[in-house]
Structure 1
Amino acid sequence: MSGANVVAGLSLDRLENISRHLDERYIRTGKFPGAVTLVARRGEIAWVKAQGLMDIERNKPARRDTVFRIYSMTKPVTSVAMMQLYEQGRFLLDDPVHKYIPSWKHLRVYDNGIYPNFITRPATTTMRIRDLFTHMSGLTYGFLCRSNVDAAYRELKLDGSRDLTLDKLIEQLAEMPLEFDPGTAWNYSVATDVLGYLVQLLSGQSLDDYFREHIFEPLGMRDTGFQVREDQMDRFAACYLYQPGDQMALQDDPETSRYRERPNFLAGGAGLVSTVDDYFRFAQALCQGGELDGHRIIGRKTLEFMRLNHLPGNQDLPGLSIGAFSETPYEGNGFGLGFSVKTDVAKSRTNGSVGEYGWGGLASTNFFIDPVEELVMVFMTQLIPSSSYPIREELRAMINGALV
């Protein structure tokens, strides 16, 4: 293999498999509108490509600087923000949540019944801040459509209606039963929105101001935020919804999108928009131990701590999960403080390294960091839900296949 086609130990010819695969399998067949993919190693961007359309209705090609809704890829940003405050001694992971949210002192657990006539029992364990980071809090998400509790979340619009605020969310969750005793199971949930509330409480800043001052500005992430500015509008992608038979329907039109205004609800779990290069700067800072271009956002040791598997007994997700949904395959993956963490490569049935960590978003965006290979991948598209196609595993197969 000639050295001319190798960058940072990655074969560019083999990385072209990604663009071929996306084009033939997903874009030309109408499964995805378009995509932007970035692969970097040892701090160097080896390969980046924009393909297909960012807005089918207006026939606008995807660009490298396209602005995407990243949904749950907001969670690692919120988790880093919260751990910055941990480094300042503002809280401990074992602190009860009710130390900061007094109305949560006497939380109850669902027994049976349908909202508003729930039958509940007192929780036998105390919810700790670490349970919010690891999704072991007993909270849930309305969109999971699994239980009577998440049906109540949908009815009360706790996943982020226009009228919701962080204060209102905290108030209403105090009245809601938990799915299980905190610390006893894993369930994807609004827990990271609660962390966003705690960031505001502990820092005395609104979540958008805190992110901007402590993460986005230091890292030069000029295109990331809770709303799409007027000067970004021509780069803002449309979002699509999967339809049976491998079809798509428009879900959110950029021209009329709620992302054009600053939201009332600053969702630390799902609210940000970003670009492939902006999110790469965040991921690369993490890959380099918390620092990029002389700007440190988190301590090296703190980050090492965050990307350990924090599930009890070093279990993986199948051992603890009560729901079927996650932004990562379950087997061979544990969970750290804000990321999934690969614990067993063979068991995960997807190529990679032990210790690889990352997360994805509802509209099929995804990123991972492999500290062993110093490898970073950021993938952006806009198709809801992320479980429509196995693109994340396919990308890992192709990217790891390009290592020389």
Structure 2
Amino acid sequence: MITNNLGIAETINNAINQRAVYGVSYSLLGLEQNEQHYLGYQGTGSDKIAIRPDLEYDLASLTKVIGTSTRILQLLGIGKIKLTDTIGNFLTNLKHPELTIKDLLLHCSGLPADIADVSELNRAGLIERVKQADLIYPTGSQTVYSDLGFILLGWIIAAIDGDLADSLNEHIFKPLAMNQTGFKLANQPPANFV
């Protein structure tokens, strides 16, 4: 049985008033309960819009935890990949093809957290820098959160399934009825995004 929504709403409104978050959408689901709630706003200033049911949720940085991690785990579950597979089995022109899927998932690959001066690079330049990144510590000796590792995992998904956005939609969002969630959503007005 779901608890009283008043306590949940009060907690969220306190977080909004304390500026911990701008706004929140959430659902309460139970055997005889299906409620959707929308509190607060998305953004500030000229970008400020009320949270509402028709907003689209572009995963953006959450792609790593909701999209990439989930699909990698699915691929592991159906045997299309193994934790011990090297990334060179799926991707070409890598400086460190010996890194494993496990190394990337656990953030112990030795890859840096990100790429310096990324805004100065075009797409081809960014791809090259990711593929040719130097290790900043020996693989397995430390844990350093790395966007590069998850970029590589996304490319591995694309190598197996085709387009990453299509894969996430087909294997995660559609089956879970996440109809307003996506990656690389096109042809949507910016005001519809949270």
**Contact residue 138 and residue 179 of structure 1 kept, 8 A:** yes
2:40 match: secondary structure: strand
Give CA deviations for 1:47-75 in whole Å, capped at 9, x if unaligned.
63321454531663222433345433211
Aligned alpha-carbon RMSD (Å): 3.2
Percent identity for Structure 1 against Structure 2:
21
Q: Number of aligned pairs?
A: 191
The 1:236/1:71 distance shift into structure 2, 3 A limit, reads closer
| C-alpha distance in structure 1 between counterparts of 2:110 and 2:34, whole Å | 40
| C-alpha distance in structure 1 between counterparts of 2:179 and 2:121, whole Å | 25
Residue aligning to 2:153? 195
The 5-angstrom pairing of residues 2-401 of structure 1 reads: 8-26=1-19, 34-38=22-26, 40=28, 48-52=37-41, 54=43, 56-57=45-46, 60-76=49-65, 77-101=67-91, 103-104=93-94, 107=96, 126-142=98-114, 153-155=115-117, 157=118, 163-164=122-123, 169=127, 171-189=128-146, 190-203=148-161, 205-237=162-194
Give CA deviations for 1:336-389 in whole Å, capped at 9, x if unaligned.
xxxxxxxxxxxxxxxxxxxxxxxxxxxxxxxxxxxxxxxxxxxxxxxxxxxxxx
| C-alpha distance in structure 2 between counterparts of 1:74 and 1:23, whole Å | 24
**Contact residue 208 and residue 226 of structure 1 kept, 8 A:** yes
Q: Offset of 1:15 from its aligned partner?
A: 1.6
Q: TM-score, normalised by structure 1?
A: 0.41
| C-alpha distance in structure 1 between counterparts of 2:192 and 2:155, whole Å | 30
| C-alpha distance in structure 2 between counterparts of 1:97 and 1:53, whole Å | 38
**Contact residue 38 and residue 51 of structure 2 kept, 8 A:** no
The amino acid of 1:184's aligned partner reads S
Higher helix share: 2
Unaligned runs of 5+ in 1: 1-7, 109-125, 143-152, 238-404
Q: Offset of 1:46 from its aligned partner?
A: 6.0
Q: Offset of 1:221 from its aligned partner?
A: 2.3
The amino acid of 1:17's aligned partner reads E
The amino acid of 1:36's aligned partner reads V
Unaligned runs of 5+ in 2: none
1:98 match: secondary structure: helix
| C-alpha distance in structure 2 between counterparts of 1:174 and 1:24, whole Å | 44
Q: TM-score, normalised by structure 2?
A: 0.78
